[in-house]
Amino acid sequence: MADVTKEEELTLTRADFEAARRAVAPHVYHTPMLTSRSLREATGFDVRMKAELFQKGGSYKVRGPTNLIGQLSKEERGRGVICSSAGNHSQGVAIAAHQYGVKAVVVMAENATPSKIAATKGYGAEVVLHGTIWDEANEKALELVEERGLTYVHPFDDPRLIAGQGTVGLEILEDWPEVEVIVVPIGGGGLISGISMAAKSVKPNVRIIGVESSGAPAMKRSVEAGRLVTLDRVDCVIDGLRVKRVGANTRSVVSRFVDEIVTLPDAQIFDAVLWLMSRAKLVAEGAAAAPVGALLRGLVDAEPGTKVVVVLSGGNLDVEQLRGLSWN
C-alpha cells in the first residue's frame, strides 16, 4: 500500500483498492444501486442511489475495519482492538472483530443512538460511554489503549481503513461506468477519501462532491484553510456528521481529490430523511440522507440529465431526532 509522505499526502492506487476489495469481499455485501423516478423528476438528474444502508451492520462502516483488522499481526489481534465512534464505526469494528475472533472494545458518546449502542453490544463488543461528541470519546479510547494495551482502530484516518471504505467507489464504477458525479456525506472524511481516490483511479474525470452539515463544517473549513482546523463548537445533532476535527490524511486527500464541498443545515437533511421515507420507501440515517438533501436543495451544480450517484451511507436512524423539529 502507498505510504504517507512527511507532508501527510496520502495517495492510494487502484491496486491498493483492488487488494482491499479482495480482502473484504468474502465478508461484506456488494450493495445495490437503486433508481428513483421521484428523485429524478425532483432534481432533473439521472440519479442512482448506492444503498449501503443494506450493508452488514446497516452501513458502509464494516468495510474499512474488515480490511484493517485483516492486516493486523497475530500479536496485535491478540491484544484486542479498540475504537471510538458515533455509532456506525462501532458496529463495523464489532462485526469485523467477531469475524476474525478478536476482542473489541468500543468507546461511544453518551448521547449515541440507543439502537447503535444495543447493536454494538449485540455483535459482542464491550461498550464504554464517554463524552458528548466523537472527539471526547476518542480521547477516552486513547487512554484505554495505554491502560489495557489494546490495538487502536481509527474511525477515519488510517490508510488501511480508507482503502476498505473506498471499495464502495469501485462497486459504483463497476455497476455504472457512465457515472459523472458522485455525492458523498462527510463526517471525519474516511468514506469520501476512499471513494474519491478509488473512483478517480478508474475514471479520473468523475466529479466528487462532499456534503457536510453547516453546523459542523470541519472538512470544508480545513480545506479552505489549507490545514487542519478544529471547530470551537458544533451545532449538529447528526452523529455521523458531528465532528470538530477531521483527519490529517483525510484532509489531504479531500483537498486533492474532491471537487467541491457543500453544506446544509440539519433541518434540511432531516427533510431529506423524510423525503426518502415517503417517496423512495427507504429508511436512511441523517448522514446518509445529506447527499439527497443537497440534490433536492439545488446545491449540486450540473446539467440536466447528468448521471449522478448519491451514497446512502447507512440506515441506522435515530427516530427520536425527528421529533419536535421545525421543518423549513
The string of DSSP letters for 30-76 reads: ---EEE-HHHHHHHSSEEEEEEGGGSGGGBGGGHHHHHHHHTS-HHH
Q: In what order do the strands lie in the sheet with 104-108?
A: 126-129, 104-108, 81-85, 151-152
Given a cut of 90, is residue 203 above it in pLDDT?
A: yes
Average pLDDT in the 272-276 region?
A: 96
Cα–Cα distance measured from residue 178 to residue 246, given in angstroms and rounded to the nearest whole number: 31
pLDDT computed for residue 8 by the predictor: 55
Average pLDDT in the 169-191 region?
A: 98
Closest CA to 211 of 158, 141, 290: 290
Cα–Cα distance measured from residue 218 to residue 245, given in angstroms and rounded to the nearest whole number: 6
pLDDT computed for residue 132 by the predictor: 84
Tell me if residue 324 falls in helix, strand or coil: coil
pLDDT computed for residue 5 by the predictor: 41
Backbone φ and ψ for 259, nearest 5 degrees, come out as: -80, -30
Cα–Cα distance measured from residue 9 to residue 226, given in angstroms and rounded to the nearest whole number: 12
Between residues 114 and 253, which one has the greater pLDDT? Answer: 253
pLDDT computed for residue 314 by the predictor: 96
Given a cut of 70, is residue 68 above it in pLDDT?
A: yes
Positions marked catalytic: 61, 313
Average pLDDT in the 154-180 region?
A: 97
pLDDT band at 290 (very low <50, low <70, confident <90, very high): very high
pLDDT computed for residue 269 by the predictor: 97
Average pLDDT in the 280-298 region?
A: 97
pLDDT computed for residue 7 by the predictor: 47
Domains of the chain: 14-60+159-322 (3.40.50.1100), 62-152 (3.40.50.1100)
Between residues 8 and 27, which one has the greater pLDDT? Answer: 27
Percentage of the chain with pLDDT > 70? Answer: 95
Between residues 185 and 119, which one has the greater pLDDT? Answer: 185
pLDDT band at 305 (very low <50, low <70, confident <90, very high): very high
Cell of 172: 459504483
Residue range 98-124, pLDDT digits in tens: 999 999 999 988 887 787 788 889 999
State the chain's mean pLDDT as an integer: 93
Q: Are 295 and 47 in contact (CB under 8 A)?
A: yes
Average pLDDT in the 208-236 region?
A: 97
pLDDT computed for residue 327 by the predictor: 47
Cell of 41: 423528476
State whether the Cα torsion 317-321-327-328 is positive or negative: negative
Cα–Cα distance measured from residue 101 to residue 183, given in angstroms and rounded to the nearest whole number: 35
pLDDT computed for residue 6 by the predictor: 42
pLDDT band at 215 (very low <50, low <70, confident <90, very high): very high
Given a cut of 50, is residue 131 above it in pLDDT?
A: yes
Residue range 39-59, pLDDT digits in tens: 999 999 999 999 999 999 999
